[in-house]
Chains A and B, each alone.
Chain A
Amino acid sequence: MSSTVPSLAQMRASLPPEKDRLDSLWLRFVLRKLSFPVTWVFIRLGFSANYVSYLSMLVVFGGTILMSIDDYFARMLGAFLFNFWVLLDCVDGNIARVKQQVNAYGEFADAMSGYIAYAFVFLGMGIAAEHTKPIMPGVMNQMNFVVMGALASICHLTTRLLYKKFVEVTGQPTLGSGTKPNILFTNIGITGLLMPSVLVSAIFGWLHWVTLFYLFCWGGAGAYFVVTKIIAVERSTQL
């Protein structure tokens, strides 16, 4: 059995340098490095890339449920599970590459796991923030963070949807890989800054700030995207 398990060096070698370079810093320097030994364990346990994708969906659901429970340790575990989801997201890719299981089915299953995370991570964070929010000044005290989390999730999904629709209609990607907006979104996004932020804020009770930050971040990104890309399409139509 061990002869079929690739070595850590083989796993590292299977990762295209271009892909590694375009990942967020958190993913590149922390989770990706952790993912290689975890991948080794999963391969050793007989998991295929697709089964890891299915498991990652369950991990996101589990993380959301734990974040919804009004208990410090449940929240901590929830935040940990969200990070574990990103780790599994790396693991299924690693397995697919080293076992040469890259196919459309796996890619779609992996994408599905991502879509579920986009819908649930912010919602879970919002529910946890509602439990932990302190007494805040003025209007902020009236805020319902479950709604804020749901809105952040909607903004994230809508921005992603707009991007995909734009690509489909125009036939060209809007944010070229490696461009400044792409690097920014990747580093702030769900596999970037969000993950360490959730961990730290779950410890110190700052989840309400993180929820608000991501609501403005994705709301702003969506608005920026709509305005700039509609103008771009309008100009290209006129030419």
Chain B
Amino acid sequence: MLESNKNDKRKKVSARDICQCYTSEKARSDMVAQTWIYLVLRPISFYLTPLFINLGFSANTVTCLGLFPLLGGMALILLGSHSPLNFTIGAMLVNIWYLGDAIDGNIARFQGQTSKFGAILDWLVGMLYHTFLPVCLGLGLYLASPERAMLALGLDFPKWIWLLAGAVRLFAELLREVVSLGGRKIVGLKIVDQIDSKAKISLKDILPRIFPNFEIPLLLVSSLVGVLGFFLLFYTIYNLAILAGMILLALRKALLADQQRTKEGENL
């Protein structure tokens, strides 16, 4: 399939070609780990991907192009004090970047370009979102007037809380990634177990990941409704809870691994 894709470079690529490269394993992983992409963005991306391929864009180029809506969106969120519309347009741009994230994956699979470089680049751009968005949102809300919907709900927080929430969330995100990678190296196990490739996916698999999966569309919804402050606070607390859970889980796995090793030693 990939060989024929490479050979037929001159042939116009269609949405059906892209769809055929979307393996059932990838669909399963999307369903659990990127539910919003699976349900909404992936179907849209099938129609947009041929456009980029026919224009000669590689997966990594699309990843790099995605930096424009992402950085532009975060800059507008930072400048939310100038106009509340900046928050909404910024959130829209971030959603466009997320759509681009689905498109570059499609291109990589279609052209057989999945590489270590692409994986690192994709991860780096994703990290940009995770580290800078909380800061931009925190600063934007700090500088802007209180959101009307939040006031209507009787939620009148002091302004410094947005700066604190942004900073705490940023540290929680960074520490979570470091702990996750460190845990994998030291404990030798994935802290969060992977979904079995053959097991039936149930709501039990999807629900624990529902909040991070719907974070980006919820950013847009929150900006439209005017409850971005609530969005920031919620995800700050959520990330702190996940960080704490991850540390405890890693320690437990390490403890179990040590007990197992001791038992094996005794048996010998």
Interface centre among A119, A161, A165, A230 (most CB of B within 10 A): A161
Nearest to B182 among chain A residues (CB) is A111
B175 touches A119 (CB 8 A): yes
Nearest chain A CB to B160 CB, angstrom units: 12
B181 touches A161 (CB 8 A): yes
Select one of A154, A161, A237 contacting B116, CB under 8 A: A237
Select one of A108, A166, A170, A236 contacting B182, CB under 8 A: A108
A105 touches B181 (CB 8 A): no
User: Is B115 engaged at the interface, CB distance under 8 Å to the other chain?
Assistant: yes
A86-121 vs B, CB cutoff 8 Å, 1 = contact: the mask equals 000000000000000001110111011001001100
User: Is A22 engaged at the interface, CB distance under 8 Å to the other chain?
Assistant: no
Interface centre among A104, A153, A157, A164 (most CB of B within 10 A): A104
Nearest chain A CB to B78 CB, angstrom units: 14
**CB < 8 Å A-B pair total:** 87
Chain B contact-residue range equals 20 to 34
Nearest chain B CB to A116 CB, angstrom units: 8
**Given A105-B255, A154-B131, A166:B178 Cβ within 8 A:** no
**Given A103-B258, A108-B186, A108-B187, A150:B120 Cβ within 8 A:** no
Q: Which of B81-140 contact A (CB under 8 A)?
A: 115-117, 119-121, 123-124, 127, 131
List of B residues within 8 angstroms of A169 by Cβ: 116, 119-120, 123
List of A residues within 8 angstroms of B255 by Cβ: 105
List of A residues within 8 angstroms of B182 by Cβ: 108, 111, 115, 164
CA distance A104 to B121 in the complex (A): 31
List of A residues within 8 angstroms of B187 by Cβ: 104, 108
User: Is B170 engaged at the interface, CB distance under 8 Å to the other chain?
Assistant: yes
Nearest chain B CB to A226 CB, angstrom units: 7
Q: Which of B135-185 contact A (CB under 8 A)?
A: 167, 170-171, 174-175, 177-179, 181-185
A115 touches B186 (CB 8 A): no
By a beta-carbon cutoff of 8 Å, the part of chain A in contact with chain B is 103-105, 107-109, 111-112, 115, 118-119, 150, 153-154, 157-158, 160-162, 164-170, 226, 229-230, 233-234, 236-237
By a beta-carbon cutoff of 8 Å, the part of chain B in contact with chain A is 115-117, 119-121, 123-124, 127, 131, 167, 170-171, 174-175, 177-179, 181-188, 247, 250-251, 254-255, 257-258, 261
Beyond the given pairs A108-B183, A108-B186, 8 more chain A to chain B contacts, judged by CB atoms under 8 angstroms and listed by A's residue number, are A104-B186, A112-B247, A153-B171, A154-B171, A157-B171, A162-B124, A237-B116, A237-B117
